[in-house]
Amino acid sequence: MTESRLLAHHAVLSGSGSAATVLVHGFGCDRHIWRAVVPRIETLSRVLAYDLAGCGDSVSTWDPARHGSLQGHADDLLALLDEAGQDRVTGVGHSVGSVILLLAALAAPQRFERLVLLAPSPRFLNDPPDYVGGFEQRDLDELFQLMESNHFGWAQFLAPMAMGQSNPVSLTRDFERALCSLEPRIARQFARLAFSVDVRALLPRLTVPALIVQCADDSLAPVAVGRWMHARMPGSSLVELPISGHCPHVSHPEEVVRLLRGVLHA
C-alpha cells in the first residue's frame, strides 16, 4: 500500500470556507514557519501547510533522485493537492518555495486560482548587464564551501541576511537554530538547488495570475528582482513592502496577512 503523501509530508489541514490555500515554505524552514499567518486566514479559507521533502519532520521522505531537482518538489505539491482534494487553490510560496509553486502552476495551471510569491527569485546570481540577482558566483561558492566545512558557521552567516539587520535579533537566532537543525547532506543539496536555480525563461509562460511581494531591503533578493519578474510575467502585480529581510511572513506577518486577506476576499 502506497504511503499517504499527506502523512509523509506531515501536512496540516485547517480552516473552512469555499476557498483553498496551500503554503509552500522556503529553504531552511518547515510548515511551522507559517504559524503567525495560518490562524489569521483560516476563517476565509481551507489551508494546507506541509513540510517539503527533507525538511522539518519529512527528512525520511527525501529521495536524492526525485528531489535532485526542484521539479520533484513541484510534483510532490501536485500529488498533495490531489490527495487533499483541493482542485483550485491560491498558492502561497516563499523564496525557493515560490519557484516550486511556479513549476507546479506551469505543469498544471488548472489547479491554481492565483499565486502569491513572497520574496521570490528566479535566479540568485547576477547576469550582467540586464539582471541583478544579488550574488556573484564567488559568493555562492564561498557559501557552499562553508556548508561543507562548518555546518554551524554557514548558519551564522546566512541567518542575519535572511531576517534583516533591522528586525529583532530573536528572529535571527530562531532561524539560525532552524538552519543548524537541518540534516547536513540534504541541506547542502537543497541549498545548491535553491541558489543555483534559473527559471527566468519560464516566467512568460505562466498563465496563472500572480502577486509578487518584494521587501524593500532584502539582501537575498534585491528589489530589482521583483520588478524584473513583474515586467515579464503576464497578468502579474507587484507590491513592494517598506520592510527589511527576506522573510516578511516571519518579521511582518500582519503585512502578509493583510495582502492574503485581500487576495482571498477577491
Catalytic residues: 95, 218, 246
* Residue 92 CB burial class (10 angstroms; 0-12, 13-18, ≥19): buried
Phi-psi map region of 202: left, alpha, beta (phi>0 left; psi -120 to 50 alpha): alpha
By DSSP bridging, strand 12-15 and strand 45-49 are antiparallel
Give me 42's grid cell.
483560516
Phi-psi map region of 234: left, alpha, beta (phi>0 left; psi -120 to 50 alpha): beta
Asked if residue 168 has a cis previous peptide bond (ω within 30° of 0), the answer is no
Q: What values do phi and psi take at 264, rounded to 5?
A: -70, -35
Q: What is the Cα 75 distance to its own chain's centre?
A: 15
Cβ neighbours for 235, distance < 8 A, ≥ 6 positions apart: 206, 207, 208, 209, 210
Q: What is the Cα 173 distance to its own chain's centre?
A: 20
Give me 134's grid cell.
544579488
Whether 6 contacts 155, CB under 8 Å: no
The residue type at 198: D
Whether 190 contacts 206, CB under 8 Å: no
The residue type at 52: L
Instruction: Give the 3-state secondary structure of residue 234.
Output: coil
